[in-house]
Amino acid sequence: MLEPSRPSDFTLGLTVFGPVTETARPGQHPARYLLEPDGWLRAAVGPGANQTVHPTLTRWLDAPARDALWAMARGAGLGGDGVTQIDSPERFDPPAGRRVYLIELTAGGRRYSAAVSEGDPAAGPLAAIADRLAGLAWVSPGP
């Protein structure tokens, strides 16, 4: 169980795999987002973005923005149905042609990694996190 308040070591990694399509939702673009404990958000967007990419610094997020992302991650149901727990996220091989969200979370000294395919009910919270991160990283709609 994740604690209610954001821990000091909170780190959030989210990789969006999938086809490049014209979409109104920036969070559906292939991308790699990494929020570090000190508030720096890193982002890489495009077909080459995957879980092994270390994105460049994009912007610094203040405590309220990190708290909001913590609340979203905490409510994502990482242990629920439709969520595939991943032991080694750097070796995760997503299915071709499908949008998949790979989340990596560090909190309170523990690490969590899971993958969810778009269309699964458990994907909704991860898609919302992707949309929020894309907005914070100034990703625009379109291919």
What is the sign of the dihedral through the CA atoms of 46, 52, 58 and 59?
positive
> Of 18 and 67, which is predicted with more confidence?
67
pLDDT surpassing 90 at residue 122: no
Lowest mean pLDDT among 21-35, 99-113, 125-139: 21-35
Q: Which pLDDT does position 82 carry in this prediction? A: 57
Domain boundaries, the chain: 11-136
Instruction: Supply the pTM of this predicted model.
Output: 0.90
Cβ-Cβ contacts under 8 Å for 28 (sequence gap 6 or more): 16, 18, 21, 99, 118, 127, 130
Q: Which CATH class is domain 11-136?
A: alpha beta
CB 81 within 8 A of CB 122: yes
What is the band of 69 on the pLDDT scale with cuts at 50, 70, 90?
Answer: very high
